[in-house]
Amino acid sequence: MSSPPRRRSRASPELLDALREGKAVLRRQREKANLREKIRIVLELQRLCLPLIARRRRLTEWERPWVITP
Alpha helices, H only, the chain: 13-32, 35-56
- pLDDT of 59 reads 84
Task: Dump pLDDT digits (tens) for 10-68.
Answer: 889 999 999 999 999 999 999 999 999 998 888 888 888 888 888 999 888 887 777 77
- With respect to residue 51, please indicate whether it lies within any of the assigned structural domains: yes
Predicted pLDDT of residue 64? 78
- Asked whether residue 8 is domain-assigned, the answer is no
The number of folded domains in the chain is: 1
- pLDDT value of position 47: 85
Query: Is there a domain that residue 56 lies in?
Result: yes
Residue at 49 is within a domain: yes
pLDDT over 80 (residue 69): no
In a domain, 28, yes or no: yes
Query: 1 falls in which pLDDT band (50, 70, 90)?
Result: low
In a domain, 26, yes or no: yes
Residue 2 lies in a domain: no
Whether the predicted model's global pTM rises above the 0.85 cut: no
The whole domain housing 22 covers 13-63
